[in-house]
Amino acid sequence: MIGTTFVLAIRSIRRHMLRSFLTTLGIIIGVAAVVTMVTLGNATTAAVQEQISALGTNVLQIRPGQGFGRGGGGPRPPEFDAQDIEALQRQVTGVRAVAPQAQASAIAIYDGANWTTTINGTTNAYFEVQPWQLTAGRTFSPEEEAAGKSVCIIGSTVQQNLFRGGNAVGERIRLGQISCDVIGTLATKGQAGFGGDQDDTVIMPIKTVQRRFTGSQDIRLILVGVDQAYDTQVVQESISDLLRDRRNIEPGEDDNFNIFDTRQISDTLTGTTNLLTSIVATVAGISLIVGGIGIMNIMLVSVTERTREIGIRLAIGAVAREVLLQFLVEAIVLSCLGGLIGLLVAQLAVAALVPVMDVKWIFVPEINVAAFAISAIIGVVFGYFPARRAAALNPIDALRHE
């Protein structure tokens, strides 16, 4: 009986192809929109997490001031110094490595090619705090760090623009007015979580940068690598207590430094992305309801058009349950066809948008199955009333219908 009912439903849909397509259009749009938004949202979330992880896992960033800038127009907060670095290494439990940073900007020149880049002065601890593989060469020797030698390790962007991707190790480049021997090249990292090109950098010993570029012993940024066995929140509190003591901050006074946990940044950005995805998917899902109303409306019209047919079926022995099942199956078939077409449209839309957004396509079976299941449920919910109305017709009145 169910098989016969299904065949009758398909025949009815085929008799009115255009009307059937327009009926399912709301379901198609709803399913396609929901699946597309959720898939792209997951891809964006994964991209954000990947970019944040490039900054290092279990890494704390310490800067002077209460934010990324001075803020408030008040006095400039004091910078950090070498003694602060030593104190963090010796006195805070759970610290794996501490990497000071001093930055400057300069034009890198080699054999007629030039490129404006960021010079990052630090120590070998930098490569321990946020592991960054070298494609060639080596890191700094203790003697080079202690003496502040003019040696450097260049990122892939600098290598590409100065050496056209060729071998750079052993060559000498000029940074502003300073000559520098290239001792290593870094693997490609790509964009950072805040849009900067991490590969557009030249890394030098911090003493070299302080003496030759900044002219100051001050340190603007400290990267602290936290041991995996320790809670970063506990370590962060210990660092805060130590720095408050060293910077003579009285109880009740605000900190004149700030500590950022890269994992907290990742969680915040991921949560924001997921929230926006949920909101957009919910708004898109409203069209599923609209599609269901469309199915109910068309099925009511179909009941009116086929009143004599229903009367004949009831007169020759069909029971109300069979009539109800026939119209209910038609509604479910319409909504399921709309769901399948919507899934196909969603995959095509994602395939077209992923390259534009520069994210990876992450196929999520659960959302596809859920969207299709919801389309089927909508067919049941919104198809039941018209089917019930058809089954309740009086055979005599139905046969008299014009």
pLDDT digits (tens, 9 = 90+) for 219-254: 989 999 988 888 888 999 999 999 999 999 888 888
Q: Average of pLDDT values for 127-152?
A: 91
The pLDDT of residue 71: 47
Average pLDDT, the chain: 82
The pLDDT of residue 170: 92
**Alpha-carbon distance 250 to 233, whole Å?**
22
Query: Would you report the helix, strand and coil content of the chain in percent, each value rounded to 5?
Result: 55, 20, 25
Q: Residue 153: left (phi > 0), alpha (psi -120 to 50), or beta?
A: beta
In this predicted structure, the answer to whether residue 69 has a pLDDT above a threshold of 60 is no
In this predicted structure, the answer to whether residue 119 has a pLDDT above a threshold of 60 is yes
pLDDT one-digit tens code per residue, 270-301: 777 778 777 777 776 777 777 777 777 777 77
The pLDDT of residue 306: 66
Chain centre distance of CA 198: 18
pLDDT one-digit tens code per residue, 165-214: 788 999 999 998 899 999 999 998 876 555 568 889 999 999 999 999 99
pLDDT one-digit tens code per residue, 379-395: 788 777 777 777 776 66
In this predicted structure, the answer to whether residue 400 has a pLDDT above a threshold of 70 is no
Output the pTM of the full model.
0.62
**Alpha-carbon distance 367 to 155, whole Å?**
40
Name residues whose C-beta falls within 8 Å of residue 51's C-beta, 6 or more positions apart in sequence: 190, 191, 192, 193
The pLDDT of residue 70: 47
pLDDT one-digit tens code per residue, 322-380: 777 777 777 888 888 888 999 999 999 999 998 888 888 888 888 888 888 888 888 78
In this predicted structure, the answer to whether residue 124 has a pLDDT above a threshold of 80 is yes
**Alpha-carbon distance 356 to 143, whole Å?**
48
